């Protein structure tokens, strides 16, 4: 998730507002929004590099110390919303990776993604606080990676889960029998999936194979979509829940190329991104674009679209991206942008953040129009307060 809520908490109780037909349906058939590396909205640059990192990364962190950790921080933080903000926005599945701090006395457990995050107990308390005031909301806590943890650490963490959530923990059952009605009747609000043998003797710790999360491990959007469609189609035979990881994973060369900018800024289009003119091949209306979607990130400096063909453009990042659609254009050369712009085909949309109904671009009757969303957005620096026709 890359966008911040605007104070509208309409998603905070979305499960409790579902119709009876859905609350009686097996929960595995509902599309439940989740977040990736859900805890990574804060990492500790002062702590040692995490045990989830390779030896050469730890070595570089030792040599370059704070500089290396500042770079790691930019690539480790994949969220900017706290647990409470994610819950209020509608997130109900949480991807959790945990670790002890080697050499630290006691059995404290922390969230981990390259660098250490908050204590797990603090995060669980935040989630429990939300559940206490939203009695019909249910969360999936997927503890899928454990680092530097022995049996004592696992016992400590499992006890912590029981202490924090108590009667809210749903006991293992047949997946097909788990409905919202069933959970409400039993006052269950938390399903914990524990991907380690230490949880096998605890009836409240669902085994990891009941929450498979196949990973495409690609930077190619076309391959990602094909992978998601294939794995989603195969889920029925496993009798489990299923995670569709709609994420692109940066390669080493990706990180090296954007080393200093970090993940968020790297995903913004580069200044030398090739600019072309929209030139359809015939006088017929174009069909669906064959090129993959462009994923643009709101950076505070605006959103830039430069394209050679019609695209579905995702504003934001992650599973809750919002789309604007540049509809197919008819034959002819279409210039998008101001006449006096340095590059006529260059569109820059600036706004305070991405909302549920953001600006959209339409092509109707040969007229290209930008429809406003009601927020303080601008086109090439000019405020968009009413439908604005672009040059054609």
Residue 1 pLDDT greater than 60, yes or no: no
Retrieve residue 139's tokens: 């969360």
Yes or no: say if 88 and 12 are a contact pair by the CB < 8 Å rule: yes
Please state whether beta strands 34-35 and 115-119 pair in parallel, antiparallel, or not at all (unpaired): unpaired
pLDDT of residue 269: 38
Range 199-219 average pLDDT: 90
Tokens 């209020």, residue located: 88
What's the distance, Cα to Cα, between the start and end of the chain in Å? 35
When the pLDDT of each residue in the chain is averaged and rounded to a whole number, the result is 69
β-pairing verdict for 378-379 and 388-389: unpaired
pLDDT digits (tens, 9 = 90+) for 144-178: 999 999 999 999 999 999 999 999 999 999 999 99
Q: pLDDT confidence of 328, banded at 50, 70, 90?
A: very low
* Predicted local confidence at residue 234, as pLDDT: 77
Count of CB atoms within 10 A of residue 233's CB? 9
Give this prediction's pTM: 0.62
pLDDT average, residue stretch 8-33: 89
pLDDT-derived band at 70 (thresholds 50, 70, 90) equals low
**Fold category of 20-238 in CATH:** TIM Barrel (3.20.20)
| Mean pLDDT confidence for 48-68 | 58
Helix, strand or coil, per DSSP, at residue 372: coil
Tell me which of 221-225, 264-268, 296-300, 344-348 is least confident. 296-300
What was the pLDDT predicted at 372? 59
pLDDT of residue 190: 98
Least confident interval from 36-45, 209-218, 239-248, 325-334: 325-334
What is the distance, to the nearest Å, from the Cα of residue 367 to the centroid of all Cα atoms in its chain?
Answer: 35
Average pLDDT rounded to a whole number, residues 333-359: 40
Q: Mind telling me the catalytic residues?
A: 36, 113
pLDDT tens digits, 300-315: 333 333 333 333 333 3
Which one is predicted more confidently, 352 or 93? 93
* Every domain of the chain and the residues it spans: 20-238, 268-392
Percent of the chain with pLDDT over 90: 38
pLDDT attached to residue 78 = 78
Query: Does residue 344 surpass a pLDDT of 70?
Result: no
Segment among 208-212, 218-222, 316-320 with least mean pLDDT:
316-320
């Amino acid at each position: 998730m890359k966008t911040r809520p605007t104070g509208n908490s309409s998603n905070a109780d979305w499960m409790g507002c579902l119709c009876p037909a859905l609350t009686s349906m097996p929960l595995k058939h509902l599309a439940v929004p989740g977040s990736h590396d859900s805890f990574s909205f804060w990492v500790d640059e002062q702590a040692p590099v995490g045990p989830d990192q390779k030896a050469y990364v730890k070595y570089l962190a030792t040599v370059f110390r704070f500089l290396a950790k500042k770079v790691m921080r930019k690539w480790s933080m994949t969220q900017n919303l706290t647990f409470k903000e994610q819950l209020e926005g509608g997130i109900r599945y949480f991807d959790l990776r945990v670790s002890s701090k080697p050499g630290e006395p006691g059995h404290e457990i922390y969230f981990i993604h390259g660098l250490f995050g908050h204590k797990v107990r603090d995060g669980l308390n935040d989630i429990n606080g939300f559940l206490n005031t939203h009695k019909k909301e249910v969360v999936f806590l997927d503890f899928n990676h454990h680092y530097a943890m022995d049996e004592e650490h696992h016992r400590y963490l499992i006890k912590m889960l029981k202490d924090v959530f108590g009667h809210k923990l749903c006991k293992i059952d047949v997946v097909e029998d788990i409905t919202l009605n069933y959970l409400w009747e039993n006052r269950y609000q938390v399903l914990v999936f524990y991907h380690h043998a230490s949880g096998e003797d605890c009836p409240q710790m669902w085994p990891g194979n009941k929450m498979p999360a196949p990973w495409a491990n690609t930077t190619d959007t076309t391959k990602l979509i094909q992978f998601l469609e294939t794995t989603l189609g195969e889920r029925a035979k496993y009798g489990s829940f299923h995670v569709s990881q709609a994420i692109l994973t940066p390669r080493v060369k990706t990180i090296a190329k954007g080393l200093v900018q970090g993940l968020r800024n790297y995903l913004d289009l580069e200044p030398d991104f090739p600019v072309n003119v929209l030139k359809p091949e015939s006088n017929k209306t174009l069909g669906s674009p064959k090129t993959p979607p462009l994923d643009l990130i709101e950076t505070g400096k605006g959103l830039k679209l430069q394209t050679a063909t019609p695209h579905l453009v995702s504003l934001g990042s992650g599973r809750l991206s919002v789309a604007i659609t540049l509809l197919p254009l008819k034959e002819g050369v279409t210039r998008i942008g101001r006449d006096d712009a340095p590059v006529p085909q260059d569109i820059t949309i600036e706004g305070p953040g991405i909302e549920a109904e953001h600006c959209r671009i339409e092509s109707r009757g040969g007229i290209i129009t930008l429809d406003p969303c009601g927020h303080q957005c601008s086109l090439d620096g000019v405020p968009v307060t009413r439908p604005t026709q672009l040059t054609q």
